[in-house]
Structure 1
Amino acid sequence: MLSKSLPAEKPFFHSNPSLPPPPPPPHSTMRDMVACFSDHAVRVAESSCSGSFASSLTSPPLTANKNTASSSYKATLSTRKQLLVNLIWHRTNTGDASVLVAVEENSSAKRDGQCQVLRKKKGNRPFPAGNSACTLFWDFSAAKYAGAAPEPVKDYYLVVLADDELVLLVGDTCRDFIKSKFERKPRVAEFSMYRRAEQVFGVTHHSTKARFCSGGREHEVMIRCKGDESDAASAELYVCVDRKRLINVRRVSWNFRGNQTIYVDGSPIDVLWNVHDWWFRGSPSGGGAATFVFRTRSNMDSRLWSEEELAKGTSQFTLLIQASKNR
């Protein structure tokens, strides 16, 4: 059940309309937070994807000039071993699609793991990840996409098998694949998504779906970000969940950064936004990105989460959306 949003907590945006908007602080919370997600993204995509990789690769990436979506999962095997699995979906202007799958052991001191770039429509691939023997199975040959979205929406599967246990099942045809592939269904490990990141270009309106807690229902999250410094009268900046407007930002010239707590299914969700570059640097010809971050909070007594908490990979769910005016 959705309820009314709370007043902004510890706001860090300018709020006096009689003064000109201040320049952005050199090390703002929002900038540091976004850097925590994206510093290593391009290097991951361009690397050879062999050997060990740093723990920072588990951060949801933002890759330039592509519609990109990434999902990060934690899986717990029957042996209580934990694996981290990242799926990074790319789709170019020409319609070419690919996915990078990265697997590592959460308990490994060196964070050894492997990442695999899947460009073929169908196949399987064995590989080691730390001390785990993994195999990827995938089939995108009949996959359906929604417009230019990088991630398929139906008629596909991507399965990760580790130490003879299914640690990730993505896609609507996983069940059929498992029935045809295995005489006896392997054990399914406990797994859940803990991060989701999306980067889109050339839009002022973006809609996605998110499940903010394990076992909870899926919600539609919609963001509207329209206007710039030269056309303040037509500015629109708001956030809806299940088509109900929960955040409405006015006077964007001053409130280009902020945070607010909303309730979804009775649980507090912290929402942070930064539209400075979209508002002041964005134009029809180039530049400008708006960033929104959603993160569940365990209870209202805990403080507003920080970028340091993000880096620790806590159990709370995080959704990051970055929208750019053009490519």
Structure 2
Amino acid sequence: MVSASSLLLPSSIRDLASCVSDGAVRVACTTPSSTLTATSTTTTSSSSSSSPSTLSVAFSYRTTPQSPTSPPLLLRLTWSHTPLRPPTLSFAGPTASSPAILLRRRKGTRSLPSTSSHPALALFWDLTAARYDAAGGASPEPVSGFYIVAVADAEVVLAVGDLASEFVKAKFQGQIPKARSILPVARADRVVVAAATAATAVHAARVRFAEGAPEHEVTVGCCCSTRGGKEGEEELWVSVDGKRAVHARRLRWNFRGNQTVFVDGAPVDVLWDLHGWWFRDPPGRAVVMLRARTALESRLWLQEEAQAPAFALLVQAFKTPP
């Protein structure tokens, strides 16, 4: 079974979760008709806000093959770019310890040999017609015109991109089955925030917190400057679909914390650690994580290590590129 500690989330997140007590968790009230219920529904806005520059977006997928005797696979994709280099793609799998492979060509195939616990894997990808979001701070992940397909034991274990189904049908004449489930279980965004250029920095990501759940836009915003020469004016907020779910103030004192909100009627833990942003230089890093719980009565997700992992979104913000 793939545990939460096997995901792409860094080990420092375990320390973050353990430093805040269950007593600090506030479970928001919920109603059946509400998608998200939180202490405030104010939409975040700022005339002086800016989008951080996205360095990389990494996804972990947990695949359950058709055969009941085949172990789950953990496959990871990382999209990254720098100001001096176009977007690149790396692939890692089928275990948490598998090294990442940089896919240097825009189109190609790659074979990964079998091991004692996992079958051989064939990877196919085509980014030649990939289209990217041209907005400021745009993600290196393409929005359309691409596919990434992985095949193991004559079944599709990964299919990403709007052209994936078309490729599988053409390549295998529609005669190859698909794994029982292919679930995204983690997303990690690394961004650089030019704090001096704007009063507010805002980063957005679209995610699903559970299989079959609707897609939501999660926005993380932070105001790390002082206003009117006053200390303690720093603010952090997290919004879901424009509704503010978390709002923390006086961040130099409240640089670590957590809160629980409901999304689609299920609890989602929101944790933040901004200690490194002010007190560790370099690199000056802020971390915000949202992680769905598998059960309301479970403690702050650390007891779920032995279970199938729930979805987690991690946003790491840096003052300068790491």
Q: TM-score, normalised on structure 1?
A: 0.72
Give the Å deviation of 1:32.
7.7
- Cα gap change, 1:256 to 1:137, in 2 (>3 Å): same
Residue 152 to residue 314, structure 1, CA distance change in 2 (3 Å): same
Do the aligned partners of residues 315 and 150 (structure 1) sit closer, same or farther apart at CA in structure 2, a change above 3 Å counting? same
The yes-or-no answer on 1:212 pairing with 2:209 is yes
- Choose from 88, 100, 121 the match for 2:78: 88
Per-residue CA deviation, residues 236-286 of structure 1 (Å, 9 max, x unaligned), is 31110000001111121211110000110110001100112224457xxx7
- Counterparts of 2:168 and 2:294 in 1: how far apart (Å)? 36
The alpha-carbon deviation at position 176 of structure 1 amounts to 1.9
Q: What is the rounded CA distance, in whole Å, between the counterparts of 1:235 and 1:105 in structure 2?
A: 40
SS in 2 for 1:152: coil
SS at match of 1:187: coil
Moved more, 154-163 or 74-83: 74-83
Q: Per-residue CA shift, 1:212-256, capped at 9, x if unaligned?
A: 011111110001112147764653311100000011111212111
- Larger mean Cα displacement after TM superposition, 141-150 or 162-171: 141-150
* Alignment correspondent of 1:180: 170
1:256–1:279 Cα contact (<8 Å) kept = no
**Matched positions, count:** 261
Deviation at 1:325, TM superposition (A): 2.6
Q: Could you say which residue in structure 2 is the equivalent of 1:158? A: 148
- For 1:198 and 1:129, how far apart are their aligned partners in 2? 30
User: Measured at CA, do residues 30 and 228 of structure 1 come closer, stay the same or move farther in structure 2, by a change above 3 Å?
Assistant: farther
What residue in structure 2 maps to residue 238 of structure 1? Answer: 237
CA distance in 1, matches of 2:17, 2:141: 27
C-alpha distance in structure 2 between counterparts of 1:248 and 1:99, whole Å: 35
Which fold has the larger relative contact order, with Cα–Cα distance below 8 Å and residues 6 or more apart in sequence?
Answer: 2
Give the secondary-structure state (helix, strand or coil) at the position aligned to 1:100: strand
Alignment partner of 1:320 out of 311, 314, 322: 314
Residue 77 and residue 247 in structure 1: after superposition, are their counterparts in 2 closer, same or farther (change >3 A)?
Answer: same
- Equivalent residues in 2 for 1:19-38 (5 A)? 29-30=15-16
Preserved contact between residue 101 and residue 117 of structure 1 (Cα < 8 Å): yes
Q: Could you say which residue in structure 1 is the equivalent of 2:297?
A: 301
Q: 2:123 aligns with which of 136, 150, 175?
A: 136
User: 4+ residue stretches of structure 1 with deviation over 3 A?
Assistant: 228-234, 279-282
CA distance in 2 between partners of 1:215 and 1:232 (Å)? 45
| 1:118 paired residue number | 103
Q: 1:177 to 1:28 in 2, by over 3 A?
A: closer
1:93 is aligned with what amino acid? P
Shift of the 167–309 alpha-carbon distance from structure 1 to 2, 3 Å rule, reads same
Provide the TM-score with structure 2 as the length reference: 0.73
CA distance in structure 2 between the aligned counterparts of 1:120 and 1:313, rounded to whole angstroms: 37
Secondary structure (helix, strand or coil) at the match of 2:16 reads helix
| Cα pair 1:71 1:88 within 8 Å, conserved | yes
Is 1:292 matched with 2:277? no
* Aligned counterparts of 1:116 and 1:224: Cα–Cα separation in 2: 33
Equivalences for residues 188-267 of structure 1 within 5 A:
188-189=178-179, 190-202=181-193, 204-228=201-225, 232=231, 235-267=234-266
The letter of the residue matching 1:97 is P
How many angstroms apart in 2 are the aligned matches of 1:293 and 1:27?
Answer: 8
Q: Which residue of 1 aligns with 2:276?
A: 277
Q: What SS does the corresponding residue of 1:179 show, helix, strand or coil?
A: helix
Hey, what's the Cα distance between the residues in 1 that align with 2:185 and 2:245? 23
- Secondary structure in 2 matching 1:299: coil
Shift of 1:309: 5.1
Deviations 1:284-305 (CA, angstroms, capped at 9, x unpaired): xx74221011111122211112
- Provide closer, same or farther for how the CA distance between residues 115 and 162 of structure 1 changes in structure 2, counting only shifts above 3 A: farther
Relative to structure 2, which stretch is displaced further, 114-123 or 293-302? 114-123
- The secondary structure found in structure 2 opposite 1:301 is coil
CA drift of 1:28 comes to 8.8
Counterpart AA for 1:173: L
- The percentage of aligned residue pairs carrying the same residue is 38
Q: Distance in 2 between matches of 1:28 and 1:157?
A: 33
The alpha-carbon distance between structure 1 residues 118 and 253, as it changes in their structure 2 partners (threshold 3 A), is: same
**Partner of residue 62, structure 2:** 74
1:252 aligned partner, one-letter code: L
Residue 36 (structure 2) aligns with: none
Root-mean-square deviation over aligned CA pairs: 2.8
How far is the alpha carbon of 1:201 from its aligned partner? Answer: 1.0
Provide structure 1 residue ranges, at least 5 long, that are not aligned to the other structure.
1-25, 34-64
- Contact kept, 8 Å, 2:245 with 2:261, in 1: the verdict is yes
